[in-house]
Each structure stands twice: as structure tokens, then as C-alpha cells.
Structure 1
Amino acid sequence: MRRDLLPTAVLAIAAILAGWLGWSGDLLLLPASCAFALIWSKAQNRLAVLIVSAGYFLTASRGLLHGVQHFYSTDVWSGLIFWLAASVSFVLVHLAAWSKRQAWRPLGFLVAMLLMVIPPFGITGWAHPLTASGVLFPGWGWWGLAAMTAGLMGLATRMGPAVAVALAGFWLWSAAIWTDPKVPLPWRGVELEMGSSLGRDASLGRQRDLIATVHSAASQGASLIVLPESALGFWTPTLSTLWRESLQGSAVTVIAGAAALDPAGYDNVLLMIDGGGSDILYRARMPVPVSMWRPWGPWFGEQGGARAHFFSNPVVEVGGRRVAPLICYEQLLVWPVLQSMLAGADIIVAVGNGWWTAGSSIVEIQRANMIAWASLFGTPLVISFNS
């Protein structure tokens, strides 16, 4: 047993480094996460698999520890419980997929990858190495995703080090020629710095400030203007009238985050507003678990949580474009963006309200993820965040 301790310790340190670098929020470091496949395959027993899987995921998701404390204004223990609970799916899936037989490990890693993409395990499928596809293979589309899948499986074979060298070559070449996806005209993603007050300040003054921000963007040539998640708060007929009147006589269309209430709960939505009125454009497929989406609530007599529309509305039509909307938490997962691309999306619109992540790299990771996916498919990208 003691002879296994040193190799396991080395693998654990390597997994922590892969999680730390790959999910630092630096886009061009995303491929460091691919090292996890090689590290996982080198584990000699299930205890080592558990340690390296936990080390990688907990390090990659380290921002959650601070974010939960900030969001709930609570002590470190609440953040720690959330952080550990979030890792359970990832660790158990990779533990179950590992085999004592080296020859079976590539297939096991493929199974683990697939399980961590789709619900239910995909609900906490953060830190997925497939996200690095867009950095290693920009513009390759589905072929790039296939190449990344094959590469990760190759890392789990005896030829893993040779595969790592090949992937490193793609990494270096991509970094040398890298360009970010373009924001298409006439779109404009508005970045706000309103902290926790965004969506919570229900005053008329706040709405007028946002309207003024929209008109300012329009004066610079934008006609499709995107505001962050929850920007408009709880959507009401009064607000609808205010915004409609403010946009009358202009060619401006606003895409903005809000909450659509009904007696059973609410939807985290994107609204489309112009001088003719407003409509719900998109309902979030995966709201943030626990803080928003609580499917167990009715069992305890709780009402009012956000609904998850898992596989609904993957694309929406805006200005003649097929748009892939992604709200906040959806940007950390794999299946929402892939479902949207399968549905023929030709532009990605990503919004978030990241005030609670201050002091962590969560928003930077979300941005990096969106840029990577947009680069993989050669798709224009519009981002709008509040911090």
C-alpha cells in the first residue's frame, strides 16, 4: 500500500494543477484540463481514482466556495458543503468508469465524458475537458469535437504521452494564431457594473437608467442590444408599457434578462422588446441548482422555484438569425450549447449576472467557455454580463 502512496500523491498534484490552470479563466489555458484524462488513466486503484478526480474537480470549481458565501452572505461552512456536494457526480462517474484493465480505460473515459455531458449527471458537468475543443481546433466544428473526443480517449491509452505531445502541438499553433470571435453588426452586448442591485432595484429610476443605456448603445450604431441576466427584474405589464413607449419610433430591439412569474413559480427568461411590445424569447433550460432550481421543493411544501426547461427552445429567431441563448449557469455546461448548435444556431448570445462571483474566476471561466465554443463552430458571439 505504501508503495502506491508516492505515485498517487504525484497524480493528485498533477490533477490539481490541471484543474487550477485549465479553469483559471484564461482562455488559452483551457487545454490544460485535458491532462486529467492522462492522469486518470494512470491511477493504479480506485482510491487513487477518487483522489485525482476529486482533486481535479474541486480545484476547477474552487470559485464556488467563495461564490456561495457571497451570494448567501453566510459562513464558510455553507460554501464548503455546496462545493463538496457539487463534486459528487463527477467523482462517482469517473470512479465507476475506471477499470483495472488498462485496455478498457479509453472506453471508460468516453463513457464518463458522455455521462457528464447530459442530464442528470450533466447538471453538474462543469470543468469538462471537451470545452477545450475550440482552443485546439478552432473552426473545425463537429469534426473538432470528434477530434477532441478521440484525443481524450487517446490520452487514456498506453500511448497517452505521445497523444499529449500531438495535442500540445495543436495548442501551440492555435495560441500563435488566435483571434476571438467577432460581435456581429448590428448587435451590441452591454456590460454593466451594478452589483447585486441589478434585478432587485425595482424603482422607476433604475429602469430609466437602463433605457438610457440602451439609447446610448443605439446612438453608436447598434440596433440589437443585449442586457444581462435579470436586468429587468420581475417582468410586469407596467414595465412592458414603459419599455415599449421608450422604444417607439426607433428601430431598436432589446434582448434582456428578467423573471417571468406565475402562481407555481417562475422562469428565468430573455425578453425581446421593441416599439411594438414585448415577448418571452427564451426560457432557461438549466437555472442554477439550489439557489434557483429546486425540484425537491414540492416534496417539502415549498413553492416558487425556477423551472428547468432542459431540452426546450435551443434556438430562437431574432432579426433573421438563429440564436443560441445561454443564461449564466448554462455557460458552464456542455449539453445546452451542443444542443443549440445541433439545432442550427448561427450566433451565440450569452448573458449573466455575476455580481456574487466577485473575487473568484467564475465569470472569466464562463467567458472563456463561450469564446471556446463559438470559436469551435466559427460562430459570432455576443456577451452581456453584470458584475
Structure 2
Amino acid sequence: MPGRSSHSTHDRIRSAILIALAIIIGAIGWSGFVLALPAAMLFPALWAMSASRWAAALVSAGYFLAASRGLPQGVANFYAADLWPGLLLWLAASASFVIVHVMLWTGRPGKAQSEAGRAARYLVAAVLMALPPFGITGWAQPITAAGVLFPGWGWWGLIATAAGLAMMTSRSWPAAAVVLTGFWFWSAASWTAPTLPEGWKGVDIELGQSLGREASLQHHRDLIATVLSFSESSTRYVVLPESALGFWTPTVERVWRDALRDRDITVIAGAAVLESRGYDNVLVAISAREARIFYRERMPVPGSMWQPWRAWTGYAGGARAHLFANPVVGAGGNRIAALICYEQLIVWPALQSMLQAPEIIVATGNGWWTSGTSIVAIQQASTIAWAKLFGLPLVSAFNR
């Protein structure tokens, strides 16, 4: 009995240490600094070291909740409410991550074959959290660190990172950590930001929550003046943030096309297109010659924008999710991977676009509701990592 009690105490102490470390690496890896992303790659080792399924659940929850810690405050800002709705959504969003990792957890194996099986189980969990339906809330994926560890390696870098994550679940994790740390330091020492494609300009603005809700002519005139300030330069494409144009209507189209008359500029800007059963969150491309819907968002923010239960209950409303549509769109002969706001936090929209060999990444967001959090910084860090992994130029435009 004394021996059993001692063993139980040891397991509790080890579990407490693993949970604390999971919280720390979740907070550091997803702090919004792109070069900190590889810290998240310690998570598989902590998950694998868990003494029980219950301990693995707490390790997974600690990591995910720390990584997504800005969500309660962001939701409170969005709904102008107290923290309780955000806390409930925060816990609900963590559920899929915890459930997947708990179901696929297995105890420390005694044979090499079983150890390989555990690595395979972790990779299955990673894939499940990268793809719908679990991937809809699949934030904080360590695989995103591939862009920091192996910039320019493309799919080979993704494979190398997946192999590193698998190794972190084995007894050889210290050696794997040393090797990955070496790549991390080498990359940090020579790190450069993604390039801006020639002739493109992304415009950040600070209009707060009025963006997307302000429909006055003066609002559009102010944005037009900002765009036209680049007309004397070599800029040919100007990108404005998500929701910059508000609702996309024939009147808005006419105002913008008239303003761009005799100007060799194409504006790519966020807007909302009303449909009979809801609305589409889109990017539109506007020039003097034409105006068209450029991109329809594949994954709007669950809960606040995407509300599929409304259709299930016979009610209209909410943003539509075009889950696997338009992974690459065209502009001026360029193949563009567009990512709007929430799509930058999850894995599958970026990888789906990369399968189509884009030439430029365009990332937009409307982050006024993230005030006081690092959510926008995490979005930008993730997008930078994907751009660096595949060696692509990046254009970004955000509202705060």
C-alpha cells in the first residue's frame, strides 16, 4: 500500500508539472510573435508523457485554453457584454480539441512497434483537428510552426514538421527537440519578413466597430481618398480590410467605379453580400472597367457569424460557409490565395489554397473586437508562417 500511494503521488506531481508546462507553451507559442510558434511543438511530448487519459485531457485543455486565451475578452467586446458568454464559448471551443486528443491518447508503450503506434495516433489527432468538422475550431495547431522551422521548404517542410511532431511523442523526444531547436535558431538568425508583391499595397485602418456598419457616402469618400493617394505611385492593387465597404450594393459599386475612372488601380476590399438565406462575407475587386465578387469566405467565425443551426430550424440569417470553394482566385493574371480573418487561425483553408499553387497570399481582417487581446497578432503570425513556408509574397490589410 505505501508503494502504491507513493506511485500515485508521483503521478499527480508529474501531471501538475505537465499541465503547467502545457499552459506555458500554449501562451508562448501563440503570443502573436511568429518566431515563437515552434514552442508549441512541445505539446505532443507533454501529451505523450501524461500518466493517464484524465491527465492527457488536462494537458490538452491547458494548452488549448492558454493558446486561445483572448477569446473571452474578444467575445465580450463583440457583444458589448460581460465575460460569461466568452468564457462559455472558450470552454466549448476547447471541447473538440480535448476530446480528439483524449480519445487517441495511449499509455507509454513498452515496445518500439507500440511507440510507433502512439506517434501515428498523434498524427491522426493532428489531421482530425486540421480538417472539418473538428478543424472548424482547430486553432493552435503546432504544424503552423513549419513556416518558422523550414522557410521555403514548402510541402517538404510540412512533412518534416509532421515527422518532428511524431518524434516528440517517442522516447527520443529530447533528440528530436535538439534537432528542431537547431532549425529554429538557424531560421531566427536569418529571418526576414515575407516580401510584398510588386505593385501591391495593403492598407491598415483604425475605424473600430464602425467599419462595416458605417454606410454613409462620406465613409466611402474617405476610403476612396486613401486609395487614390497611391495613384501616382507604382501601386496597381490596393487591398482594404474585411468589411471595408459594408454591404455590397449597386450604389456602392457605382460610387467606386466612378471614383476609379481613368485610374489604373484595382481595389480589393471586404464587403457583405445579402442572400435570401443569409449573407456572404466576401472580397470584391473593383476597377474602372468592372466590379466583381473576388472571393467568398470559406469559414466565417463560428457562432458570431456562421450559425448553421438557424437554417436547421428554418430561420434565415448568419454568414454562409463556402467550405471548400474558391481556394485560389485570379487577379491581373496572378493566382491569389485569399484568407479572411478567422481563416487565418485554422489550418485547412491555407493548405487547401496551397494545393492549388498560388502566387500571392492576400489576408484581410476586421479585428476591432480583439482590442486588449493578441488575436490579430496571432492571425498575422500564422499567415506569415504559411507565406514563409511556401516562399510566397504576402499582402495584408486589417482594421483595428
Instruction: Identify the TM-score tier after normalising by the shorter chain.
Output: over 0.9
1:71 to 78, 81, 84: 78
2:305 maps to amino acid: M
Which residue of structure 1 lines up, in the alignment, with residue 5 of structure 2? none
CA contact (8 A) 2:138 2:347 kept: yes
3-state secondary structure, aligned to 2:257: helix
Paired residues, what number? Answer: 387
Separation in structure 2 between the aligned mates of residue 229 and residue 274 of structure 1, nearest angstrom = 18
User: Does residue 89 of structure 1 match 2:89?
Assistant: no
2:245 maps to amino acid: L
What CA deviation, in whole Å up to 9, does each residue of 1:102-126 have, x standing for no partner? 3132111100010011100000010
RMSD: 0.8
Separation in structure 2 between the aligned mates of residue 13 and residue 268 of structure 1, nearest angstrom = 39
Separation in structure 2 between the aligned mates of residue 217 and residue 16 of structure 1, nearest angstrom = 45
Separation in structure 1 between the aligned mates of residue 287 and residue 274 of structure 2, nearest angstrom = 21
Separation in structure 2 between the aligned mates of residue 220 and residue 86 of structure 1, nearest angstrom = 45
Matches within 5 A, 1:196-345: 196-345=209-358
CA contact (8 A) 2:48 2:107 kept: no
Which residue of structure 2 lines up, in the alignment, with residue 20 of structure 1? 27
Which residue of structure 2 lines up, in the alignment, with residue 122 of structure 1? 135
Identity %: 58
The runs of 5 or more residues in structure 1 that have no matched partner are none
Deviation (angstroms), 1:13: 0.7
1:42 maps to amino acid: M
Separation in structure 2 between the aligned mates of residue 262 and residue 309 of structure 1, nearest angstrom = 13
Which residue of structure 1 lines up, in the alignment, with residue 3 of structure 2? none
What CA deviation, in whole Å up to 9, does each residue of 1:42-100 have, x standing for no partner? 11100110000000000000010110000001111111001001101100000011112
3-state secondary structure, aligned to 1:260: strand
Q: TM-score, normalised by structure 2?
A: 0.96
Separation in structure 2 between the aligned mates of residue 380 and residue 218 of structure 1, nearest angstrom = 22
Separation in structure 2 between the aligned mates of residue 298 and residue 112 of structure 1, nearest angstrom = 30
Separation in structure 2 between the aligned mates of residue 301 and residue 69 of structure 1, nearest angstrom = 28
1:159 to 164, 172, 194: 172
Which residue of structure 2 lines up, in the alignment, with residue 191 of structure 1? 204
Matches within 5 A, 1:341-352: 341-352=354-365
Separation in structure 1 between the aligned mates of residue 358 and residue 225 of structure 2, nearest angstrom = 30
What CA deviation, in whole Å up to 9, does each residue of 1:121-172 have, x standing for no partner? 0000100000000000000000000000000000001101110011000000
Which residue of structure 2 lines up, in the alignment, with residue 36 of structure 1? 43
Deviation (angstroms), 1:3: 2.9
What CA deviation, in whole Å up to 9, does each residue of 1:216-275 have, x standing for no partner? 133333110000000000111000100010011111000000001122111000000000
1:145 to 142, 154, 158: 158
Q: TM-score, normalised by structure 1?
A: 0.99
Which residue of structure 2 lines up, in the alignment, with residue 45 of structure 1? 52
2:296 maps to amino acid: R
Separation in structure 2 between the aligned mates of residue 162 and residue 299 of structure 1, nearest angstrom = 51
Deviation (angstroms), 1:101: 4.5
3-state secondary structure, aligned to 2:350: helix
1:11 maps to amino acid: L
1:98 to 105, 128, 144: 105
CA contact (8 A) 1:346 1:379 kept: yes
Deviation (angstroms), 1:185: 1.1
Separation in structure 2 between the aligned mates of residue 19 and residue 253 of structure 1, nearest angstrom = 40
Deviation (angstroms), 1:15: 0.3
2:90 maps to amino acid: W
CA contact (8 A) 2:49 2:108 kept: no
What CA deviation, in whole Å up to 9, does each residue of 1:317-357 have, x standing for no partner? 11111000000000001110111010111110000000000
| Structure 1: 4+ residue segments shifted above 6 A | none
2:79 maps to amino acid: Y
